[in-house]
Amino acid sequence: MAKKFLNILFVFVGMSSILFLSGCHKKPVETVDEVSVAPLPPEGFMIDEFDMMEEKIRPGEAFTSLMVRLGMTSDDAMSLAGLCDTVFDVRKMRAGNAVNAYYTVDTTTADPEAEVSLKYVVYKKDKTHGTVFKTSDSLAVWNFSRPVETVRKYSDVTITSSLWNDMTSAGAPAGLIVSLSEIYAWSVDFFGLQQGDRFKILYDESTCDGDVVSVDPIYYAEFVRGETVVPAILFDQGDGGNQYWKEDGASLRKAFLKAPLKFTRISSGFSYHRKHPVTGKVRAHTAVDYAAPTGTPVMSIGDGTVLSAGWTNGGGNTVKIRHNATYTTSYMHLSRYASGIKAGTHVRQGDVIGYVGATGVATGPHLDFRVWKNGTPVNPLTLDSPSEEPIKPENLAALDSAHFYYKHIIDSLIVR
């Protein structure tokens, strides 16, 4: 009888244990992995927990003056400046750059001066980099950078009105347009683009928080006009020189730029019989006039030496440059000269020598640009500029492979 009772007891205890253990397994258990923790933003503190005010650095404003203006005491601002030595050079803060000030607001007091307390200040160096200044409790300084995403992109634009309008309408970033104009500055007359001209470009685009921060590099491009194709193949020989070439190894870079300024329009062309807009007299106009806003930078189209920089009758402020024994250029009606430009100054291709104006006899701001070949005026728009040295023979095979690779990518994208 006792043995039977023990058996029943063991069965009962066993059944109870199973039920108990089963119940334990059914009960939900919280683990650390299931706890959601919001990540810190790049600034290193929870910016959403504060009230933010955006300010601009004023011209001539010192670091300590800025911090006092935002809410720090003079002593704390001086102490914070002392912490910046190895992290941030306060002398390089640029006027006009944005700073975000983060505050806490105490709503439990009626004292208006005690309601607001400055906690952090964020200086924006550019779209991706900045510096955080912790302004309360323990003072601190640190740099931060925002994540940048880089993607390979392709643009294919046919000209219907202008390079700028058509490329922006196609969604191309401004940086791509500028880079393209620089690559083809020696080979394509951007003031003479025609309807139907086409640009195909393969490039990397880097974005930060949805904003384009850079377009670099352009791997490959094609300028197409009818049956003529001018490729630009990226290939670095490692000598710090030119990086864009045609398929035969000829350099896209030439001795002279196609134009001495960017993104303007031709208001008057080269002619031996033009009626002057001011005097009304018909006479030779052996120049090309580029209409542009006052202050537009004017560049030397090639290496050379400044022959003169001064006032000329009718031409106003004028710079004249000798490039070699054959070619000389002049740039007239300038509003002012670039720093250091005077007779005897050596300039490089692309150096700014002055700024568009309307000095002398002129109806409005424009650049009168002239070229002489062996002392005879020539049309700048038809100037045949010699190319720089071709690619090294030992690099021709690698250039050909790069051309085939990029061309294949573009052709496959067009088919899609």
Banded pLDDT at 247 (limits 50, 70, 90): very high
Q: Taking the model in full, what pTM does it have?
A: 0.69
The 10s digit of each residue's pLDDT in 356-403 is: 999 999 989 999 999 999 899 999 988 888 788 899 999 999 999 999
Beta bridge partners of 54: 100
Between the CA atoms of 81, 86, 91 and 92, what dihedral angle is there, to the nearest 10 degrees?
-130
Calculate the average pLDDT of the chain.
86
Residue 34 reports pLDDT greater than 50? no
CATH superfamily of 265-382: Glucose Permease (Domain IIA) (2.70.70.10)
The 10s digit of each residue's pLDDT in 253-291 is: 899 999 999 867 888 876 655 555 555 565 678 899 999
Please list, in sequence order, all residues whose beta carbon lies within 8 angstroms of the beta carbon of residue 370, skipping any fewer than 6 positions away.
Answer: 286, 287, 288, 329, 330, 332, 377, 380
Beta bridge partners of 322: 305, 328
Q: Domains of the chain: which residue ranges?
A: 47-145, 149-245, 265-382
CATH number 3.10.450.350 is the correct assignment for the domain at 47-145? yes
Query: For the domain bounded by 149-245, which CATH number is listed?
Result: 3.10.450.350
The 10s digit of each residue's pLDDT in 134-158 is: 999 899 999 999 999 999 999 999 9
**Tokens standing for 200?**
């195909």
Q: Which H helix or E strand runs over 397?
A: helix 396-415
The 10s digit of each residue's pLDDT in 99-139 is: 999 999 876 666 655 578 999 999 999 989 999 999 998 99
**Tokens standing for 384?**
């045949």
The arithmetic mean of pLDDT across residues 329-341, rounded, is 97
Give 330 or 242, the one with higher predicted confidence: 330
Task: Identify the pLDDT of residue 275.
Answer: 54
Task: Identify the pLDDT of residue 279.
Answer: 55
Task: Identify the pLDDT of residue 415.
Answer: 55
**Tokens standing for 71?**
């809410």
Domains 47-145 and 265-382 share a fold: no
The arithmetic mean of pLDDT across residues 71-88, rounded, is 94
